[in-house]
Structure 1
Amino acid sequence: MDEYRFRSPEQYDQLHPTGGDGTRCVHAGLPAPVPGAPFLPGPVFAAPYHLDPWQGPATAPNGYGRPDNPTRRLLEAAIGELEGGDCRVFASGQAAITGLLLAVLRAGDTVLLPADGYFPVRAFATDTLAGNGVRVLFAPTAGPYPSFDGVRLVLVETPANPGLDVVDLRALAERVHAAGALLAVDNTTATPLGQRPLDLGADLVVASGTKALTGHSDLLLGYLATRSPELLDRLTAWRTATGAVPGAFDAWLAHRSLATLDLRLARQTANAEALARLLAARADVSGVRWPGLPDDPAYPVASRQLRRMPGVLSFDLGSAERVARFLDAARLVAAATSFGGLHTTADRRAQWGDDTAAGFVRLSCGVEDTVDLVADVTAALDATA
């Protein structure tokens, strides 16, 4: 699949005057070159830093590791460049999204969340936000949406995880802002190379960097991005007060991994397209969802909005027992949760308490050779038919 086919070259240059995706990923957030220094400086492991004995922390940006860290600042600059806003990174995606909800919402506020989004966020809303006096509403990603009158914050996840529905962000932002509300977009599945919600009218972007953004299945990370100084200050203060910061080594690993994001996503998208077509053609597989399939319900919006399709798809094998047999038979598909890594994985979401069918599978495509992956999935399905 041509990952740029949904944007003309002229549109792409206007959106990204500093170069293409690969160029931006390789150079994002790097300091100016210094002879004898590495391209990406090593992680700074420090809790306290030396202070000026007379003026204290006023003379240097680093005073204590919880509010700030040089390695963390470089990563935030890099993700900010890709998302098109100012970024703050968190210890995990869940820390970022719960930090957003708790920092922005107060007792008496109303929040609208995706009914088909990441299950732990919905559980947090009903268990914690509602207990704090926040009115919690839910709506499917693809709609219909209720009136936004009186709503303080609308959070959408698009493409949704795990169902992969997509919402028109420009149209939604117009409605949300007309009602005086804020729009936050969970960009985990798409990544900033798949879509830039701030360009489409969102006030905030939140995402898990644990998944495709860093892509090596070796760290936990979350982030928030915005173009609003007021929101940035509020989120920064919340993070400092709660201490939900990533360690220096995780921040360094994440920045290192960004350089290959364009390459990884290209192969993952190609693999997802091949597997989606394979699965859709089989009578023993149902409910295949991938926004890049022309007959997928999300395709009309996704083909206009996404710059590239995700490397994640979903389908149903009918029962938990058949999913287990499929995973036993597969050589290249590992049973694991999360998504976006180098290795192809499959996750039966119902085993985590998610409200999906027993045989529902979210499959995350890795970077294996497409022909090998198609052959392996075909053989594993045949063995369980």
Structure 2
Amino acid sequence: MPPKPPSAADLLHLHGQSLSKGDPISPDLTMASMFHLPGLPGGEHFYGRAGTPTWDVLESALSHLEGAPTLVFPSGMGAISAALFSVLKSGDRILLPSDGYYATRRLAEGPLASLGVATDLRPTTGFAEGRFDGYRLVFIETPSNPGLDLCDIAEIAGQVRAAGGISVVDNTTMTCFGQRPLDLGADILVAADTKAPGGHSDLLMGHLSTRDDALLDAARTWRTLSGGIPGPFEAWLLHRSLETLEVRFDRMCTTAGHLSERLAEHPAVSQIRYPGLPSDPGHALATRQMSRFGFMIGLWLETEEKAEAFINDCPLLRPATSFGGVHSSAERRARWGDDVPAAFVRLSVGCEPLEELWSALEAALG
């Protein structure tokens, strides 16, 4: 059985447990760069780059959801950068998925390479087949974005630890309600809260979680010294959105499950990827390590032109390059250079009613 998801009910009342009579239910939005600081500093807030009360409330909520101390960042790539730059040094070697999010590879092959960090690539489906000796850090992404291939987090994290390395898992596509990488043995979890946690396509945020105090301190120091910090209003917005994440994620995953079955039978779809389908090559692993199968569907249409027409002609699809919003969205990932066929479509299922969404998708496919 996969690890148990966090309590959404406890999250909704987490902040309320600390309130006094007359306090607002909603957390305060503290717009401050300086704080009153007579005498010597002693653990309180002193400067906005190091911490704010609004961050505190958000990080408390995310720590509850991830079951581990958590730091917030201004984007998912901000969290990934902290995970990499806070632990790596010249001469280190890292391993990345060759079919994962392209920006992570570009970060490694550009800025990190210029600092003397070497990078190897390995496909997600064969990630556990090679050895992990000699790697300071191994970066895991499952399901991979955009191809939705899976790899075994527990197996890989155990092997990486035995080899003396650090395992980092990007859990953006699944959220804490769909997959629990830290419970499966990963050292660090990173995620882009721009996606489903934010959910309304109106903010950029990310977070890093770890149960290792040394890794947490290193990431916190990196955040403070690099200046890679979120704004207080974005932090406040994300906290607001987290309170409905479980409800939205449940709706999105349930709808995606029904749509995947229908799309798999549609004559215009030549191939489909969705971990919840028994026919999917990752289904057996998904049932072991994922509590939900996600809201992302990969589908192949006949031609690039038909893929573009499907995306652009469907009134209930937003042609956009992100995912996880309340509005269903889709794009041809090949246009960004991902190693997928030109007619491959990444479909992110939103919160529209199932039958209305299916009618619109069916008409666009036809």
Shift in Å at residue 195 of structure 1? 1.4
Quick one: which of 98, 101, 115 aligns to 1:118? Answer: 101
Q: Which residue in the other structure is 1:159 paired with?
A: 143
Aligned to 2:26: 40
- State the match for 1:3 in structure 2: none
Aligned counterparts of 1:361 and 1:44: Cα–Cα separation in 2: 41
CA distance in 2, matches of 1:363, 1:240: 37
Instruction: Find the counterpart in structure 1 of residue 336 from structure 2.
Output: 352
Partner of 2:190: 206
Structure 2 SS opposite 1:206: strand
Which letter does structure 2 place at the counterpart of 1:114? Answer: P
Q: How does 1:278-297 map to 2 (within 5 A)?
A: 278-297=262-281
Give 1:51's aligned residue.
Answer: 37
Give the partner amino acid of 2:121. F
Give the match for residue 324 of structure 1. 308
The share of aligned pairs that are identical, in percent, is 45
List structure 1 runs of 4+ shifted beyond 6 angstroms. Answer: none
> Where do 1:143-222 residues align within 5 Å?
143-144=126-127, 145-222=129-206
Cα deviation, residue 315, structure 1: 0.9
Out of 331-340 and 135-144, give the one that drifted further: 135-144
Instruction: Please give the residue correspondences for 1:206-245 in structure 2 after superposition, counting only pairs within 5 Å.
Output: 206-245=190-229
CA distance in 1, matches of 2:26, 2:139: 34
Given the two structures, how large is their TM-score scaled by the length of structure 1? Answer: 0.91
CA contact (8 A) 1:28 1:82 kept: no
**Separation in 2, partners of 1:260, 1:244:** 27
Matched residue of 2:96: which SS? strand
Contact 1:28-1:79 within 8 A present in 2 as well: no
Q: So what's the TM-score if we normalise by structure 2?
A: 0.96
Alignment match, 2:67: 84
**1:24 touches 1:82 (CA, 8 Å); kept in 2?**
no
| Structure 1 match to 2:290 | 306
Which residue, out of 258, 262, 276, partners 2:260? 276
Distance of 2:186 and 2:89 partners within structure 1: 21
8 Å Cα contact 2:147/2:340 also seen in 1: no
Structure 2 CA distance for partners of 1:244 and 1:292, relative to 1, 3 Å:
same
Q: CA deviation at 1:319?
A: 3.0
How many residue pairs are counted as aligned between the two chains? 365
Whether contact under 8 Å (2:108, 2:119) holds in the other structure is yes
Residues in 2 aligned to 1:78 and 1:296: alpha-carbon distance in whole angstroms: 34
User: Is the counterpart of residue 361 in structure 1 residue 345 in structure 2?
Assistant: yes
Q: Unaligned 5+ residue runs, structure 1?
A: 1-5
Return closer, same or farther for 1:30/1:129 CA change in 2, 3 Å cut-off: farther
Letter in 1 for 2:351: V
CA contact (8 A) 2:27 2:57 kept: no
Contact 2:15 2:27 in 1 (8 A): no
Task: Indicate yes or no: 2:13 matched with 1:27.
Answer: yes
Q: Report the equivalent of 1:141.
A: 124
In the alignment, which of 70, 95, 114 is matched to residue 78 of structure 2?
A: 95
**CA 1:30–1:102 in 2, change beyond 3 Å: closer, same or farther?**
farther
SS of structure 2 residue aligned to 1:101:
helix
Structure 2 residue matching 1:113: 3-state secondary structure: strand
What is the aligned partner in structure 2 of residue 67 from structure 1? 50
Structure 1 residues 30 and 235: CA distance shift in structure 2, 3 A: farther
Cα distance in 1 for partners of 2:329, 2:9 equals 28
Q: Which residues of structure 2 form unaligned runs of 5+? A: none
**CA deviation string 1:274-323 (max 9, x = no partner):** 22112111232123111100110110100111011111111122333222
